[in-house]
Structure 1
């Protein structure tokens, strides 16, 4: 049941949106069960782990979010005890973020579920398809910047 190339081209954006929504919904449910966090929180925790002392502004750029959205995300992360927020040593209006032990534990608890999720995606796409999709999605992310 293949569709003509022109129709596929017109639907690519729609299909990307649907796939992203389905994947995020499934991953959110699974991460909540495994580690008590969402995919948005997971992304932020990985960014803070990768760059201890990251500022909220840098986190917003890393995640591709508006600073106002990151402010709410960081509030939820600090309230949950997953990250700490401290004054930046030299920029008086900035704050820096660091993982707490609870944040590190949440990342550890999430890892087996991330591995299972990726294994399921590899089964659907095949190893080569998985790698090609990852490369293509990275290009799309970088295309708009």
Structure 2
């Protein structure tokens, strides 16, 4: 038998999923004219603090390395990232943002900042953000412990 709290959690997850899809559509709409996808922006954001290898970048943005490889290949073709051999381990490639990549990231962040409708009141969102961060961390911990959520 399903408890009331289980139903509430399921309803919350459905609402969260719907909100995520709607936000992603808005982001896609504003990023498309820049020639970017949300996945590309996530990769660029992951590289903003400094160069990483593909595994490190994938891990830092919670993506699969294979998926990240495809994204990075497109970003390199567009001239937004560079790949160079690691000086101490020639088997590894170090990926870094190019000047064009930094400019593209800045443009994407500005576009995304305007992706939500102006009538959205962002006051009081800190509580929601804090709770969502806790929820995400809980899901990540379950994955790390070998249990899918």
Please tell me whether residue 60 in structure 1 is matched to residue 58 in structure 2: yes
Which residue of structure 1 aligns with residue 86 of structure 2?
88
Structure 1 gap segments, 5+ residues each: none
Distance 1:6 1:68, change over 3 A: closer
Counterpart-to-counterpart distance in 2, 1:69 and 1:77: 13
Question: RMSD across aligned C-alpha pairs, in angstroms?
Answer: 2.1
Distance apart, 1:5 and its partner CA: 6.3
Q: Which structure carries more helix by proportion?
A: 1
Give the alignment's TM-score, normalised by structure 2.
0.80
Q: Does the 8 A contact of 2:26 with 2:115 survive in 1?
A: no
What are the Cα deviations for residues 46-103 of structure 1, in whole angstroms up to 9, with x where unaligned? Answer: 11111x2211111111111111111111111111111001112223332111111211
Evaluate the alpha carbon distance shift between residue 91 and residue 142 of structure 1 in structure 2; reply closer, same or farther with a 3 A threshold.
farther
Kept after mapping to 2: 8 A contact 1:83/1:100: yes
Gaps of 5+ in 2: 142-149
CA drift of 1:9 comes to: 2.5
How far apart are residue 125 of structure 1 and its match?
Answer: 5.0
What does residue 16 of structure 1 align with? 16
2:87 alignment partner, SS class = coil
Contact 1:36 1:106 in 2 (8 A): no
Question: Taking structure 1 as reference, are residues 134 and 91 closer, same or farther at Cα in structure 2, changes over 3 Å only?
Answer: farther
Q: 2:126 maps to what in 1?
A: 131
Matches of 1:29 and 1:39, distance apart in 2: 10
TM-score computed with the length of structure 1 as normaliser? 0.82
Q: How many residues align?
A: 137
Q: What SS is found at the alignment partner of 1:84? A: strand
Task: Report the counterpart of residue 39 of structure 2 in structure 1.
Answer: 40
Q: Decide whether aligned partners of structure 1 residues 91 and 14 sit closer, same or farther in structure 2, where only a CA change above 3 A counts.
A: farther
| Corresponding residue SS for 1:117 | coil
